[in-house]
Structure 1
Amino acid sequence: MVKQAGARPGASGPGTPATVALVAAGIPFTAHTYAHDPATTNYGLEAAHALGLDPDRVFKTLLAEADGRLVVGIVPVTGMLDLKSLAAAVGAKRAVMADPSVAERKTGYVVGGISPIGQKAALPTVLDETAALWETVYVSGGRRGFDIELAPDDLLRVTSGQLADIAR
């Protein structure tokens, strides 16, 4: 179920754009795979349960449109993205959830496997401040059934993200 990070993506779980980006940036991470149930639609809670984790430590990646531009919000799977707070964090007046097909096309990942790391284009990224409570957090590794564990500061560094209160 758990594989330790290695020097190359193939040694650390499925090779995805997320693992490639982390290896290229020299950021330490641990890859965790689990059997994804195709009937499940709450991917983050599924990961927390399958990996035996506190769900507050597992984060989901959501895309929103803030004043017409795509932005990434990363919040605990137990919460919801506060669109007003996300908009304020990126200097926008208003934010709405992005259409799932747009999210898939712009990130290169499928819904339920969208990683904040290694997306097709660099998007403004905001990580909920509760991530700072943990030594490491879990985010999608770029496929359903595959999560990456890394330090919140490293997640911010690899995504050029910022920390803000964006969950409710």
Structure 2
Amino acid sequence: MVQHSTTLPPRELGPEYLNQYIREHTIAAELIAPGMPMGTVTQAAQAIGAAEEQILKSLLFWDKATGTSLLAIACGNAKIDLVLLAAVSQLPQPRLASAAQVLAVTGYCPGGVPPIGHAAPLAVIVDRQVTALETAYGGGGSEDFLLRIKTQDILQLTGATVATIVAPHGNIARTS
């Protein structure tokens, strides 16, 4: 896991930085700007005509006691199970990071965090369901963009751990 100080001034990145990252790493990924609000997974899926499970959410979790953070990536229609996440991440008590922490650690504002191209190296855990998708859509650096990317590129570029971290359908994410 990676320790981060949230007292550092945030360095805000965005779609331009992400596009540069894509070019530098020569992957077949693309930024999409549907031109409509995408504040939710449902809105993002409707904006591009995709299923909700094809929309990825990249959520930053941290542990207050250790100061350690990690990025969890799951299908948009899934809920992260904090007990499962703790078991595979070695974060004793993972909690969702604040907006300020998300910006300081990833370089992106919540709602636009991509699965790749972060401000600094970051531990990443990808839910096993994501790997069943050949191509998915993640945050594109801001709420106005989505990133179309092959899931294998996410795994390769981030060095992610693949594990089951989502609650079964119909269950609310467990916290204990």
Query: For this structure pair, what is the TM-score category when the shorter chain's length is used for normalisation?
Result: 0.7 to 0.9
Amino acid in structure 2 at the alignment position of 1:51: I
CA distance in 2, matches of 1:16, 1:81: 29
Distance 1:16 1:164 in 2: 31
d(CA) in 1 for partners of 2:109 and 2:27?
24
Mapped contact 2:39–2:143 kept (Cα < 8 A) = no
Give the CA deviation at 1:131. Answer: 1.2
**Which residue in 2 is equivalent to 1:63?**
60
Residue of structure 2 in register with 1:35 after alignment: 35
Aligned residue for 1:81?
A: 80
Report deviation, 1:94.
2.4
- What is the CA–CA distance in structure 1 between the aligned matches of 2:68 and 2:16, rounded to whole Å? 25
User: 1:89-108, aligned counterparts within 5 Å?
Assistant: 89-108=88-107
**How many angstroms apart in 1 are the aligned matches of 2:160 and 2:36?**
28
TM-superposed deviation, 1:15: 4.5
2: distance between equivalents of 1:88 and 1:27? 32
Q: Secondary structure at the match of 2:137?
A: strand
Query: C-alpha displacement at 1:45, in angstroms?
Result: 2.2
Q: Distance in 2 between matches of 1:88 and 1:113?
A: 27
Identity of aligned residues (%): 25
* Residues 129-165 of structure 1, C-alpha deviations (whole Å, 9 max, x = no match): 1112211111111111211111111111112212111
1:113 aligned partner: 112
Amino acid at match of 1:141: G
Deviation at 1:124, TM superposition (A): 0.3
Scaled by the length of structure 2, what TM-score is found? Answer: 0.78
Q: Confirm whether residue 152 of structure 1 aligns to residue 151 of structure 2.
A: yes
Query: Does structure 2 retain, via aligned residues, the 8 Å contact 1:22–1:158?
Result: no
- Displacement of 1:109 in angstroms is 0.9
CA RMSD of aligned residues (A): 1.8
Q: CA offsets per residue over residues 49-102 of structure 1, 9 Å max, x none?
A: 100101011111100014430100011111211122222222333211111211
Q: What code does the residue aligned with 1:22 have? A: I
Q: Is the 8 A contact 1:62 1:73 kept in 2?
A: yes
Question: For residue 9 of structure 1, what is the aligned residue in structure 2?
Answer: none
Residue 172 of structure 2: aligned partner: none
Could you tell me which runs of 5 or more consecutive residues in structure 2 were left unpaired when the two chains were aligned: 1-13, 168-176
Q: Which has the higher contact order (CA 8 A, sep 6+)?
A: 2
Q: How many residue pairs end up in the alignment?
A: 152
Deviations 1:18-71 (A, max 9, x none): 22222211211132211243xx642x2221110010101111110001443010
TM-score normalised by structure 1 residue count = 0.82
The one-letter code of the counterpart of 1:23 is: R
